[in-house]
Structure formats: C-alpha cells, structure tokens
A and B are shown apart, each in its own frame.
Chain A
Amino acid sequence: MKLKFSIKALRNIIIALVVAGLLFLSVAGYLTPFFNFSTNPIIRTQSWLTERYTAFRDFFDSPRDMATLREQNALLQSQLAQAQGKIIEQQEQLSQIQIVTGLLEFARANPEHSYVPANVIGREISPYQQYIIIDVGSSQGISHGMPVVTDKGLVGRIDSVISNASRVQLITDANSVVNVRLQIANVEAQVLGSLMGETSLELVPQGADVQIGDAILTSGLGGNYPPNIFVGQVLAMHSKQNTLFQSGSVQPVVDFAHVSAVMVITNFNQVDIEPLVP
C-alpha cells in the first residue's frame, strides 16, 4: 500500500516536473518553433475556411449593399448637382453684381453725364461689320449718335434705334473713326477700326514722342464723342521717314468679345459738322 502510494506520488511529481519544465521552456521561448510548426497548418486552414465563408456571405449580401450604395450615390449626386447649380447661379449673380458695380462706379466718377444702362443681347450677323445690339431704345430716350461706354472706357456709339433696342457701332468697326488725344505725348490723333476688329492709331504727327503704353482718351473734336473717355493704350508705333504722320497699334481698354453690359450717355448730342466742311 505504502509502495503503491509512493509510485503514484512519484508519477505525479514527474508529471508536475514535466509540465513545469514545459511551461518554463514555453515562457523562455524555447518552444516557439515547435508551436509555430504545429499551429501554422491550423491557422492556414482557418484562414482558408474564413475566406471562403466571407466570399460566400458577400455573394448573397452584396446585391443588397450595392442597391443601398447606388441609392446613396444617386442621392449624393443629386445633392451635388443642386449645390453645383447654386454655385453657378451665385457666380453668375456675383459676375452681374461686379459688372453693375463697375458701371455705377464709372457713373459716380463721371457725374457730368447721364447714363442709361443696357444689356448686350446680340451681335452683328455679318462678319464684315462690328456691331452689337443692346436692349434699350427710343422708349428709354436713346437716339442716334449717343456714345456708349462701359466702366472701362469707350465702346462705340448708337447707330440705329427702334423702340426697345438699338444697334451700336463699335470703335473696332472698319467705318469707325474716333478723334483722340494721347495723354502723355499730348497730341491729337485718330483711332480707326478695321475689318478684323483691330484698332489702329493714325495721324500722329511725326515729331510727337509717343511712348508705348500712353493712354488714349477721346478728344471731343468732331463732335462725335465727349472728351476724356478712356479708349485704350498705345501698343506699338510705326514711323516711316517719308510720311507726314506716324501710325500705331492700339490695345482697346474694353474687351469687345466679352462685353455684356454697357451704358449709353444720354445727355450728349452728336454735332453734325458736315455742313461746315468745305
């Protein structure tokens, strides 16, 4: 009996020692390779199984998710389109406000004139003519020959009028002639239009020292335009020895391709000097 107990006790002790030894080896890290070797196949199998299960589950779940996502996407796109529409509308309003503010500032800076604001509603059909159509006419007191300006400077003058619209001859038109004064050089000259809508400076006296960038203002001579309206700047000068006058290129201050709002000077009446011309 005693021997039997002692064998059992000895076996327990040995087991305890082995377990303690294994624990010690495990804590000490000596069993890691063994654990890796034994657990890797299990982990791989588990991963394989999980992947297949996930794929299987997604296969049945995804249509529902896709439908939800599509709905959300459509909703977001709709909201985005609305927001973009509002932004465009606000940008348009801002642009209009800037144009109107510019025109108002010009009117405040030049209080000697009376102005009627107008929108540009069309352009000339013939490519050989440089005209615009505006939405004010004789009903608003517009008449032939009135100068047309923007906040930047001179646009042209009224060529023909009906009750609610007018046709404006731009200073870039081939038949347009504007008598001007060069601010720094202090000489008189003429700005002529052309077929392609370019403007040139003509009849500049040979002795005049014209600088590039010199401001060009209306002189008021000829009675077609009031004086001191900004026309543009001298871009280049061409001078030949055997000619009486110099000529040059002009950079108009108004962007005629994008002009959308103008003002008609209504208290200026064109003076017809034709009977005085010999």
Chain B
Amino acid sequence: MAYFVSALSFVLALMLQYGIVSQTPLLGGLADLILLVTAAWGLHQRTPYFWVIILVMSAMVGAISAEPMLLTIFAYMLVYIAANWLREKILQSPLLAMFFLVFMGTLFQHLVYMVSLFISRTAFNWREAVFNILLPSLILNMLLAIPVHALIQELARTAQPKATDL
C-alpha cells in the first residue's frame, strides 16, 4: 500500500512540476516538488525497499529533464539517504528535519547542476546563478516544504499505520 501511494504521489508531483510549478518562476528560480516529496517520504516511510521508488522516479525525472540523468538520480538519492539518516537521528521533530533537508538538498542539487554547467563549459555567471536562481529556488522550496510535508505525513499515516494508530 505504501509503495502504491508513494508512487502515485510521485507521479502526481511530476505532473504538477512539469505542468504548473515549472511555469511559475521566481526570478530565475523554480520550486522542485520532486525533491520536496522525496524528502517528505524519506522522513515518513517505514518500508525496506522504498529506495527503489526513489530510484525509478529520479530516473524518470532525469529522462524528461535536460540535466544529465545520473546527476538527477544522484541528487534525489542523496536527499533520500539524508532523510533516512535524519529520521533515525532526530525523528522527534520531522518538520525541522524537513526544513533542514530541503535547505541542504536544494543547495546541494543546485551546486551539482552548476558544477555540471561549469564542466560542460557553458558560459554562465556564478553570481547570477546564485542570486537569481539558487536563492529564489531555495525560498520557493522552503515555502512549499510545509504543505508538502503535511500532505505526505497524512498519506504516510494512511498508507502505513502504526500499531498504535490502529
């Protein structure tokens, strides 16, 4: 059930991302719903093979996106691994963990993309990339972190109820 619900939420997030979120930029920055959903599910899932879902979804994003597929898989998998680690360490405050994950995850993802541009010799200005793309993206992601976290938390509770919830 958890696998089905999470896969469905990822597909929905992917459609929303490409259809709506990518068309509403703040300066040059964009929110990344896939990263938010990955972080939120990473904090709330309790299933052993959840990483397969993340791998498949990040591969799908990589296939659609113009960014190199390996970089997208690497970025999302790292966010998922970090979420798992945080869930075990500071599970008492999942919202705080979500904020931390989204903040660090966005910084890391953008750094990876910038390094990729640098390596591919694309002409770009670091200052412009940081102030017009990274920071607005960070703000959008932090703003969307709260509703996405709340939604995924509810979905996770419904999909994989604890013994105490039953």
Q: Give chain A's interface residues, CB within 8 Å of chain B.
A: 121-129, 131, 133, 159, 167, 169, 174-175, 192, 194-197, 257
Contact = CB atoms under 8 A, between A and B. Distances in A.
Contact of A167 (B66, B114, B132): B66
8 contacts: A121-B18, A122-B22, A123-B23, A128-B129, A129-B67, A159-B66, A175-B120, A195-B133
Interface string B18-59: 110011010011101010000000000000000000000000
> Main secondary structure on chain B at its contact with chain A?
helix
B166 interface: no
A221 to B, nearest CB: 20
Interface residues of B, number: 29
A127 B29 contact: yes
A121 B133 contact: no
A196 B122 CA distance: 13
A128 B29 CA distance: 9
Contact of A126 (B19, B65, B123, B124): B65
Contacts of A257: 23
A194 to B, nearest CB: 7
Nearest to A196: B28
Given A122-B19, A124-B22, A128-B117, A196 B64 contact: no
A129 B66 contact: yes
B28 A123 contact: no
Closest 10 CB pairs of A and B: A122-B18, A123-B22, A129-B66, A127-B30, A195-B124, A131-B66, A126-B67, A127-B133, A174-B122, A196-B28
Contacts, number: 74
A167 B63 CA distance: 10
A174 B117 contact: yes
Instruction: Point out which of B23, B64, B120 has the most chain A C-beta atoms below 10 A from its C-beta.
Output: B64
Nearest to B27: A196
B135 to A, nearest CB: 11
B6 interface: no
A123 B123 CA distance: 22
A62 B123 CA distance: 74
B64 A133 contact: yes
